[in-house]
Amino acid sequence: MEALAAVRLKPKKVLVVDDERDVREIIAEMIADLGYEVHGVSSGEAALNLIDESSVDLLISDVKMEGMDGLALVKRVRQKFPELPLALMTSYANDDVHRMLSDRIVDFLLPKPFNMNELQGMVQSLAG
């Protein structure tokens, strides 16, 4: 019975991907304050490695990053993990980003800058 209770109390895992360290750390801290376990990585490649090694309940990625950008990342993740909730953050919401939202490749688009209430609503909606 205690083991079952411990499983239920385990926090959901959120992965934050942003190549700007300060931005990534602020977002991770905001999400951790909501009671989630948060992992932050600086690249799409690192995100794929982490997802392959351990499960996550929500992936939030910046769009514009060096190397693999957020669009390429979510396409690869969606193919491999079709049920994983995916969100993109961007200051540059172009047609490609909106098409991914309308085609349901991503579940949520969070325009930068955003406030704590917007982030909280998105995380709670997608990760539970």
CATH of the domain at 120: 3.40.50.2300
Is residue 34, in this structure, part of any structural domain at all?
yes
Residue 115 belongs to what domain range? Answer: 10-127
Question: Would residue 1 count as lying in a domain?
Answer: no
Q: How confident is the model at residue 43 (pLDDT cuts 50, 70, 90)?
A: very high
Q: How many domains does the chain have?
A: 1
In a domain, 5, yes or no: no
Please tell me the pTM assigned to this model.
0.90
Segment 80-108, tens digit of pLDDT: 999 999 999 999 878 888 898 889 999 99
What percent of the chain stands above pLDDT 90? 82
The predicted structure's pLDDT at residue 9: 73
Average pLDDT on 43-69 reads: 96
Please name the residues in contact with 59: beta carbons below 8 A apart, sequence gap of 6 or more: 14, 15, 17, 47, 51, 74, 77, 84, 85, 86, 87
